[in-house]
């Protein structure tokens, strides 16, 4: 019961962040779910709920999406996703946690460095590939997108809409890969269904946050989440 309550709180907050920023769910939820559940279950629950969030938001965001960018990132995600599945079946739980923590801290450091790059088709594909790798291995496609978008001049609305629609494809493809290679257990499906009502409330809260807070403040919040969860994951291994 304690694990379920903690998972519910995490999913509610993470769903709100995902709705408000476009990439908050995986960054916040995955590290905590990895500490509460078996790695494969945590990743699959994350994937299922993320698909639900993007699907619910689709009517609202589809007009603002940069479809070309979303397609290029999705193409890269297919290749990266295969490598991510191989990581899941090849490494122990502690290794995956350490890997997740290092990825988050490295991403936070690059965002703090404030490196600026120009958006190009090749970089869209490369970002999607890195995101796909993290999606199937950790259920966490957000860090590469967070890093890429923080380094380019993309408007708040396009960033949010394009990311959510990309996630709809990337997570769906990742779930299929998991089903084929690892298998999607009834426990993952049942646990995700139990948590979806909290995700729904999180979506409602996230819409309010999106209207009230500036993109600069939201980026600062996500950066803080990257650092805190990265440190927690690394420390949990020792």
Lowest mean per-residue pLDDT among 10-14, 54-58, 122-126, 148-152? 148-152
Average pLDDT, the chain: 82
pLDDT at residue 230, as a whole number: 78
Q: Tokens 């809260």 sit at which residue?
A: 205
pTM of the full predicted structure?
A: 0.76
Write the pLDDT tens digit of every residue in 114-145: 667 788 899 999 988 988 887 777 767 777 88
Of 31-40, 101-110, 123-132, 210-219, highest mean pLDDT: 123-132
What is the pLDDT confidence band of residue 64, given thresholds at 50, 70 and 90? confident
Q: How many CB atoms lie within 10 A of CB 67?
A: 11
Distance of CA 9 to the CA centre of its chain: 17
What is the pLDDT confidence band of residue 73, given thresholds at 50, 70 and 90? very high
- Buried b vs exposed e over 23-42: b needs ≥16 C-beta within 10 Å? bbbbbbbbbbbbbbbebbbb
pLDDT at residue 199, as a whole number: 93
Q: Could you tell me if 66 and 128 are in contact, meaning their C-beta atoms sit under 8 angstroms apart?
A: no
pLDDT at residue 148, as a whole number: 81
What's the average model confidence in pLDDT over 157-171? 84
pLDDT at residue 78, as a whole number: 85
């Amino acid at each position: 019961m304690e694990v379920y309550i903690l998972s519910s709180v995490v999913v509610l907050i993470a769903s709100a962040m995902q709705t408000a920023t476009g990439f908050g769910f995986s960054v916040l939820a995955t590290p905590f779910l990895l500490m509460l559940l078996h790695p494969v279950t945590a990743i699959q629950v994350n994937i299922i709920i993320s698909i639900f969030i993007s699907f619910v938001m689709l009517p609202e965001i589809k007009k603002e999406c940069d479809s070309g960018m979303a397609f290029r990132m999705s193409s890269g995600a297919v290749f990266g996703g295969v490598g991510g599945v191989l990581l899941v079946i090849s490494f122990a739980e502690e290794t995956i946690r350490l890997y997740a923590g290092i990825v988050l801290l490295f991403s936070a450091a690059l965002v703090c460095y404030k490196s600026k790059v120009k958006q190009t088709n090749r970089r869209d594909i490369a970002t999607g590939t890195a995101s796909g790798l993290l999606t199937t291995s950790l259920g966490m496609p957000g860090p590469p997108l967070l890093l890429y978008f923080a380094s380019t001049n993309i408007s708040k609305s396009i960033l949010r809409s394009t990311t959510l629609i990309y996630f709809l494809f990337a997570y769906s493809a990742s779930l299929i890969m998991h089903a084929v290679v690892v298998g999607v257990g009834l426990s993952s499906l049942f646990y995700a269904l139990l948590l979806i009502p909290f995700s729904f409330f999180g979506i409602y809260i996230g819409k309010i946050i999106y209207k009230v807070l500036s993109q600069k403040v939201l980026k600062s919040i996500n950066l803080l989440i990257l650092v805190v969860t990265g440190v927690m994951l690394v420390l949990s291994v020792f």
